[in-house]
Amino acid sequence: MTVLQWSRASDRVGRKPVLLLGIFGLSLSMLCFGLSRTFTGLVLSRCITGALNGNIGVMKSMLGELTDSTNRAQGFAVFPMAWSIGMTLGPAIGGALSRPQDNFPHLFTSPFWAEFPYFLPCIVAAGFAALTFVAILLFLKETLPRGLVLMKATSLVERETGRLEAGYGAVNRQQGSSVALSDAPVPLRQLLDASRVLRIANYGVLAILDISLCSLLPLFYSTPLEFGGLGFTPMVIGLWMAGYGFANSLIQAFCFAPLVGRLGPKTLLRVGHACFIPIFGLFPIVSWVANLWGISWVVWTLLACQLVLTAGVDMAFNCVLIYITAAAPNRRSLGALHGLAQTTASVVRAIGPASATSLFAYSIQHNFVGGYGVYIVIILIAMATSPLCARLPDDVADTT
């Protein structure tokens, strides 16, 4: 509901103020979350982040402004790498620091920690956000061109020129107006042409397939063997996912840019999208092997192959972001365009988890396609949406 508005605001007031406000909202939200006693309090604390934080679209816009066609692949590789690091450290912080009065009874003796058992990991996360706020404030330079100042100045001159015209006759305003309009934010209706809608649609498709995968992985890992899962403990799941996060960050850092240079963003996007088919196809295979031979090295090898394929999915996200960035008519429309894409992704990510997990439960309860119906359905969706990638232009800057 808010990411588009904050992204559009960043086109007018600059990226840095919006980014700072989002980081502040994140820090405040984490503190409130740790101090919440009721479900309503938890929901409201999370709403603070949603209301104030439009940083995802703004950060993509900033990275688009910091890079060009020669180094954009290297720049956008930062996103999945940073995400993987966060996915590695976040669960570790939450698991290790929650309920400190039980885990570290000699250090946390105050009744406060028993009353608010999850405040410690929340304040650590809030502190990290606060440090990020200071670092952005002191060291990050504004990436939006100074056209905003020029446009404001031009607007002031035009108002004064209007007064002069009224008193002294016509004055030539064409030059100033052309400078202001050449870098003016493009209205949303004009942004939504066929080429840009196609790019945003590709992003939305990747988002719903990816969030379905993220929802099903922990369910599959934790569900008992007799019900089509693997029966892993939470500790095993956490360690496995942390190891994957670390490995994925290295893959993105060292492999994405060379692969884009060799294959091109369109081909790599199509390959990454196609990775969803074997990823979901491996779920029933792994389950069958685990039921036949137990949790053996074969199961771990298949799981490793599955997670390597998900690295290809992350590369597909990077490629479609390159397409979206290149489609912006000017820098003052970059935030709005990424905001539209992120809004689309947010909508499908709100629908995806409930749909995927409900279908997972239905497949098991009603033995739908042997209990594996959820994977078949998602594979069919991936196959049906693959032509969207093929319709993208070979040249990322081609918006015709």
> Can you give the pLDDT at residue 394?
86
Domain presence at residue 38: yes
Q: Residue 295 region, left (φ>0) first, then alpha (ψ -120 to 50), else beta?
A: beta
Range of the domain at 37: 1-139
DSSP output for 72-115: HHHHHTHHHHHHHHHHHHHHHHHHHHSSHHHHSTTT--SHHHHH
The radius of gyration of the chain's CA atoms, rounded to the nearest angstrom, is 24
Can you tell me the mean pLDDT for 134-163? 64
Q: What is the pLDDT, as a whole number, of residue 382?
A: 95
Whether 115 and 221 map to the same domain: the answer is: no
pLDDT at 336: 84
Domain presence at residue 147: no
Query: Does 357 map to a domain?
Result: yes
Region 129-139: mean pLDDT is: 93
pLDDT at 211 over 70: yes
Q: Identify which of 209, 210, 229, 213 has the alpha carbon closest to the alpha carbon of residue 221.
A: 229
- Flag whether pLDDT at 106 surpasses 80: yes
Average pLDDT over residues 264-268: 93
Ranking 6-15, 34-43, 178-187, 257-266 by mean pLDDT, the lowest is: 178-187
Is 178 inside any structural domain? no
**pLDDT of amino acid 370:** 84
Q: What is the pLDDT of residue 27?
A: 92
Q: Is 366 exposed, middle or buried (0-12, 13-18, 19+ CB in 10 A)?
A: exposed
Tens-place pLDDT, residues 66-82: 888 778 878 887 877 78
Identify whether 87 is part of a domain.
yes
Assign 393 to helix, strand or coil: coil
Confidence at residue 146, expressed as pLDDT on a 0 to 100 scale: 61
H or E element at residue 355? helix 334-365
- Indicate the pLDDT class of residue 399, thresholds 50, 70 and 90: low
- Asked if the structure places residue 183 within a domain, the reply is no
pLDDT of residue 384: 95
Q: What is the pLDDT of residue 398?
A: 60
Q: CB-based contacts of 180: which residues, under 8 Å, 6+ apart?
A: 150, 151, 154, 155
CA angle 385, 386, 388 (to 5 degrees): 75
Mean pLDDT of 180-192: 69
pLDDT of residue 173: 46
Pair 197, 114 in one domain: no
- Regarding whether 4 and 125 lie in a shared domain, the answer is yes
Q: What angle do CA 9, 13, 15 make, to 5 degrees?
A: 80
- Please check whether residues 27 and 99 belong to one and the same domain: yes
Q: pLDDT tier at 64 (50, 70, 90 boundaries)? A: confident
Q: Which of residues 80, 111, 139 is at a domain's end?
A: 139
Last residue of a domain, one of 81, 108, 139: 139
Question: Tell me, what's the pLDDT at 71?
Answer: 81
Last residue of a domain, one of 139, 168, 200: 139
How many independent structural domains does the chain possess? 2
306 and 372 fall within a common domain: yes
At 78 the pLDDT is: 81
- Does residue 216 share a domain with residue 82? no
Same domain, yes or no: 29 and 130: yes
Instruction: Provide, rounded to the nearest whole percent, the portion of the chain with pLDDT above 70.
Output: 88
Q: How far apart are CA 23 and CA 29, in angstroms?
A: 10
Average pLDDT over residues 198-205: 94
- CATH code for the domain in which residue 235 is found: 1.20.1250.20
- The answer to whether residues 126 and 193 belong to one domain is no
Judgement on whether residues 230 and 361 belong to the same structural domain of the protein: yes
Q: Is the pLDDT of residue 130 over 80?
A: yes
Q: Is the pLDDT of residue 303 over 80?
A: yes
119 vs 135: CA distance, rounded Å:
24
Q: Specify if 148 maps to a domain.
A: no
Give the confidence band of 120 by pLDDT, cuts at 50, 70, 90.
very high
Q: Residue 180: what pLDDT?
A: 45
- The chain-wide mean pLDDT, for the chain, equals 83
Are 117 and 195 found together in one domain? no
Q: Do 135 and 194 share a structural domain?
A: no
180, part of any domain: no
Render pLDDT for 385-397 as a digit per residue (tens, 0 to 9).
999 999 999 887 6
Q: Are residues 15 and 129 in the same domain?
A: yes
Output 163 or 334, whichever has higher pLDDT. Answer: 334
Q: What is the mean pLDDT of residues 286-308?
A: 90
Of 342, 338, 344, which Cα lies nearest the Cα of 324? 338
Q: What is the pLDDT of residue 176?
A: 46
